[in-house]
Structure 1
């Protein structure tokens, strides 16, 4: 899929496309950046009271609500990625440094810094969200937030001590 293909499908001129995006990679990376901002904004304002597992769960549920509310947009972007060998092979997702930032924000709520356990916990929670995200578009569960909650609770179990 080329930028021209995207412009034709969106009924816009390539000049309009390039006013907002430098390349088609940027089109696909934008939702990832936006979703990362949702999580970091939530964690940055979360009170210190809830435990790490709870605040991570709440952040992923907030992100899940965003995904559900923007299903059509995200479906379109997934189609663009599926139609492009280049985009399918590019890493578009949460990078390890972003997982580390999530752990840092969770630890900062209680005035600490993340240890390896919290880094692993954040990475496992992000992976759980990714499993839900992929299944949400493939299987369309009847109650997607309840399904996300089920997955998050399964990954949280080892951390509940």
Structure 2
């Protein structure tokens, strides 16, 4: 029994180190992209700044584009996880609002990093696809997750897709306000924006 706990502890430490190394790599990449421009930064530059070997970089990310898209991927994963964790008695719209409020807490806690990410993504959009590409696919994934909460199977009806599209658009408006301005109460502002939908 003690050996199993030791193994679990080792795996936990490894996973934390790996997560820390990934986050450091993303931060180094975002900083370089902001300073030099996306097209002027190589994987070797990122590895040097993050103090990792190229082999380690490619273990985490298949490409430079993937390292830039990582903050969007993390936000999408947090949103789908929060939808799954939403109280079962909530309808789709309320479950989605609950999940967006959970995601908003993460955004507020990581505001500077996400502001940098959004700036870099916008500046590099002319030369490469946006990390928010496939927004319709992400919305469809969220809609499928909402169906799964209630034990339904695809296809997703237009009403559910419309609930998701409105919520995502509302969140994007709030996100713009959060990263570009100094809101005294960002989470209160989210409630206001969600109520105005």
Category of TM-score, reference length = shorter chain: 0.7 to 0.9
- Alignment coverage as a number of residue pairs: 153
Distance 2:59 2:148 in 1: 38
Structure 1 position 105, deviation (Å)? 1.6
Which stretch of the first structure deviates more once superposed, 11-20 or 93-102?
11-20
Structure 1: gaps spanning 5 or more residues = 156-161
Moved more, 16-25 or 132-141: 16-25
Any residues of structure 2 matched to 1:1-161 within 5 Å, and which? 1=37, 2-4=40-42, 7=46, 10=49, 12=51, 15=54, 20-84=60-124, 85-87=126-128, 90-93=129-132, 95-113=135-153, 114-155=156-197
- The alignment's TM-score, normalised by the length of structure 1, stands at 0.80
**Partner Cα separation in structure 2 for residue 116 and residue 95 of structure 1:** 16
Q: 1:18 to 1:154 in 2, by over 3 A?
A: same
Contact 2:122 2:130 (C-alpha < 8 Å) held by counterparts? no
TM superposition shift of 1:83: 4.3
Moved over 6 A (4+): none
Q: TM-score, structure 2 length as denominator? A: 0.67
- The 3 A distance-change label for structure 1 pair 20 and 3 is farther
Q: What's the CA shift string for 1:124-146, capped at 9, x where partnerless?
A: 10110011111111122110011
Unaligned runs of 5+ in 2: 1-36
Q: Compared with structure 1, are the counterparts of its residues 79 and 97 closer, same or farther at alpha carbon in structure 2 (3 Å cutoff)?
A: closer
Residues 86, 115 of structure 1: CA spacing in aligned structure 2 closer, same or farther, 3 A cutoff?
same
Of structures 1 and 2, the one scoring higher in RCO (CA 8 A, sep 6+) is 1
